[in-house]
A and B are shown apart, each in its own frame.
Chain A
Amino acid sequence: MSTQVKFVQGNEACVEGALYAGLDFFAGYPITPSTEIAELLSRRLPMAGGKFIQMEDEIASMAAIIGASLTGHKVMTATSGPGFSLMQEALGYAVMAEIPCVITNVQRGGPSTGIPTHGSQGDVMQARWGTHGDHAIIALTASNHQDVFAMTIEAFNMAETYRTPVILLFDEIVGHMREKLEVPEPGEIPLVERLRTSVKGGVNYHPYLPREDGRLPMSDFGDVHRYNVTGLYHDMWGFPSSDPDVVHGLIRHLVDKIENRTNLLARYKEHHLEDAEIVMVSYGSAARSALHVVKNRRLRGERLGLLELQTLWPFPKDIVREKCANAEAVVVVELNMGQVMQEVKKAVDFPERVFLANRIDGVFITPMDIRKLLRLIQGKGV
């Protein structure tokens, strides 16, 4: 089999990436604009011997994939808007119980029912803090179909490596538009498979005792090791504990395993940053408009660059700081009220020179919208 060229929606690029990564169990509930992912997988998964189930709601969908992950499967669910809100409870469970799983959120306008058929990037902070309690999370995004494919594979790889839920934060614009996708041959992109314990039956296996490299080997439900999985604070056996040392150690472990690897987990793209006087920071669909502006203005000699973030959480603050260090101004382009802009302001030395180019009206931000702000910053008037 050689590289396949397809003309597909972003949602289908996500499906292709998930299948390439080895997805074999999906549970979901229909919701716009993510539904195509469920529809496609209901056909593709059983064709490959995998399983698809449509659950009674998003709460159950998230719960079901956690159950299936524990039997040794690569799992995913996909949702949007209110569905992502409903998943927060079990998402926190996956964080606490360290269950590898991937949650795709094809963002739409909110809060509440908002605008189901129009794009938004309003869930960036929800992805970070949507579930209750101190925790760390990985969230990835992408602006084009080739990257949607690649980031979906990354999500599975990171979920397996760090035993954690990974959120894919796409949006309606990329999700529904069609463009070219090249699906490489199997084996071309490295995959991370489930790390299973080498401890034999009859020997103590500690499901929550990290190895020296920080990884926690798993044992599938049904295999020789029987252990407890709980959302309560727990010890290395997985049994509930309220011992302050155990609790402290657990929370530190859950946060540190991700936050301490912020630079390692950072995925991003640079466009003309080398001599940029104005650096735009963007991600997801909004980065397409930003890149359009960069290319156009470069032709006219303007020193404009784009830092496109693909890892949103843990926020790659060192990278943002470094890439923006020599800029006269930073313009964050996003489809919300400045959720990433606030993080950029925290990251750089000159928060007063960080500006926001955004739209929150359901309309995709245009190059013209960005240009208007750039003209103001450049002192050229409106």
Chain B
Amino acid sequence: MERMRMVFTGSGGQGVITAAIIFAEAAVIYEGLNATQSQAYGAAARGGSTRSDIIISEEEINFPKVIQPNMLVCLTQESYTSYAPIIRPGGLLLTDSRFVKQERKVDAWQVELPMYQTVMDEIGKPIVFNICMLGAVVALTDLVQPASIMTVLRKRIPSGFVDMNQKALDLGIALGAPQKR
């Protein structure tokens, strides 16, 4: 496989970093791949802009930061404005249609999905917005099996929340799959 360099961005509290950790952990523990995950830290725990870098590869990964992502996820307009220019030409740019208005300026495969709206319509809890996003990422990239994501989630969340997360993941997959090239 090609080395996959991903950047997830959004605002604090959206679960961007958690989603990145879950994705990379699933790749390492259940898919037998190597992965690194890192994040930009600021002083604010909520509300500030957040970014998490993930690299996934069959080879050893040394430099853990992403300079030019093959895949960029932006969950706020601010993060879209900041990070859209760094995408690798021909890379995949995923945004949420509620929060981001894409301008057709970058050389990328741009995918806008109503992830937030779908979560609110079908589940009604914004807390699983990030898992729905992960579902779309899973569908669009084919790196990690949905079952692997669920196995990681089951270790991290109380059992009462597993079904809701499963549903959010499935919604994301359903949104992402038809867009796949």
A7-B25, A117-B42, A178-B21 known; A291 and B35 CB under 8 Å?
Answer: no
Given contacts A178-B25, A366-B65, contact A117 B43 (CB under 8 A): yes
* B-facing residues in A172-201 (Cβ within 8 Å): 173, 176-180
**Assuming the A-B contacts A7-B28, A366-B67, are A180 and B34 also in contact, with contact meaning beta carbons closer than 8 angstroms in the complex?**
yes
CA distance A205 to B41 in the complex (A): 52
Q: What CA separation (Å) do A339 and B39 show in the bound complex?
A: 27
Which B residues are in CB contact (< 8 Å) with A177? Answer: 36-38, 64
Contact: B63 with A289, CB < 8 Å? yes
Closest CB in chain B relative to A202 CB, distance in Å: 56
* Chain A 209-230 residues near chain B, CB threshold 8 A: none
Which one of B24, B39, B42, B62 has the greatest number of beta carbons of chain A within 10 Å? Answer: B62
Candidate in B29, B43, B63, B67 with the most chain A CB atoms within 10 angstroms: B63
Contact in complex: A117, B62 (CB < 8 Å): no
State whether A288 touches B62 (Cβ < 8 A). Answer: yes
User: Which of A6, A32, A178, A295 sits near B36, CB closer than 8 Å?
Assistant: A178
Interchain CA distance A116-B64 in the complex, whole Å = 20
What residues on A are CB-neighbors of B37 within 8 Å?
7, 177-179
Q: Of A117, A178, A288, which is within 8 A of B63 by CB?
A: A288
CB distance from B15 to the nearest CB of A (A): 16
Q: Restricting to A343-364, which residues have a CB under 8 Å from any CB of B?
A: 364
B120 within 8 A of A: no
Do residues B62 and A179 form an inter-chain contact, with CB atoms below 8 A?
no
Q: Mark B51-71, 1 if CB is under 8 A from A, else 0.
A: 000000000011111010000
Q: Counting CB contacts under 8 A, is A382 at the interface? A: no
Within 8 A of B (CB), among A77-128: 116-118
Q: How far is the CA of A5 from the CA of B32 in the complex (A)?
A: 10
**B 108-122 to A, binary, CB cutoff 8 A, 1 in contact else 0:** 000000000000000
Contact B35 A117 (CB under 8 A): no
A291 and B64 within 8 A (CB): no
User: Is A252 on the interface with B (CB-CB < 8 A)?
Assistant: no
Q: Which residues of A contact B21 (CB under 8 A)?
A: 7, 178
**Could you tell me the distance between the alpha carbons of A53 and B38 in the complex, rounded to whole angstroms?**
29
CB pair B38 A178 closer than 8 Å: yes
Contact status B65-A179, CB under 8 Å: no
Residues of A within 8 A of B64 (CB): 173, 177, 179, 288
Minimum CB–CB distance from A28 to chain B (whole Å) comes to 20
Which residue of A is nearest B38, CB measured?
Answer: A177
> Does any Cβ of B come within 8 Å of A292's Cβ?
yes
Partner of A180, one of B28, B39, B43: B28
Interface members, chain B 100-137 (any A CB < 8 Å)? none
Contact of A7 among B29, B41, B43, B62 (CB under 8 A): B29
CA distance A118 to B28 in the complex (A): 26
* Chain A residues within an 8 Å CB radius of B42: 117
CA distance A205 to B37 in the complex (A): 53
In chain A, positions 268-291 with a C-beta closer than 8 Å to chain B are: 288-289, 291
Give CA–CA (A366, B28) in the complex, Å: 24
| Chain A contacts for B65, CB-based, 8 A | 364, 366
| Docked-complex contact B39 and A179, CB < 8 angstroms | no
Shortest B38–chain A CB gap in Å is: 4
Question: Is A203 an interface position by the 8 A CB rule?
Answer: no
User: 1/0 contact trace for B133-164 toward A, CB 8 Å?
Assistant: 00000000000000000000000000000000
Interface residue A1 (Cβ < 8 Å from any Cβ of B): no
Q: Mark A356-376, 1 if CB is under 8 A from B, else 0.
A: 000000001011100000000
Beta-carbon contact of A176 and B29 below 8 Å: no
Q: Is the pair B28, A5 in contact by a Cβ cutoff of 8 Å?
A: yes
Return the CB mask of B10-42 against A: 1 if under 8 Å, else 0. 000000000001001100110000111111011
CB nearest neighbor in A for B26: A7
Cβ contacts under 8 Å, B28 to chain A: 5, 7, 179-180
**A179-B28, A180-B35 given. 13 additional CB < 8 A pairs?**
A5-B29, A7-B25, A7-B37, A33-B41, A173-B64, A178-B25, A179-B34, A179-B64, A180-B28, A288-B63, A289-B63, A364-B65, A366-B67
Residues of B within 8 A of A (CB): 21, 24-25, 28-29, 34-39, 41-43, 61-65, 67
Give chain A's interface residues, CB within 8 Å of chain B: 5-7, 32-33, 116-118, 173, 176-180, 288-289, 291-292, 295, 364, 366-368
Q: Can you report 25 residue pairs joining A to B where beta carbons are below 8 Å apart? A: A7-B24, A7-B28, A7-B29, A7-B35, A7-B37, A116-B43, A176-B41, A177-B36, A177-B37, A179-B28, A179-B36, A179-B37, A179-B61, A180-B34, A288-B62, A288-B63, A289-B63, A291-B62, A292-B62, A364-B65, A366-B63, A366-B65, A366-B67, A367-B63, A368-B67
Closest 6 CB pairs between A and B? A117-B41, A177-B38, A7-B25, A292-B63, A292-B62, A178-B37
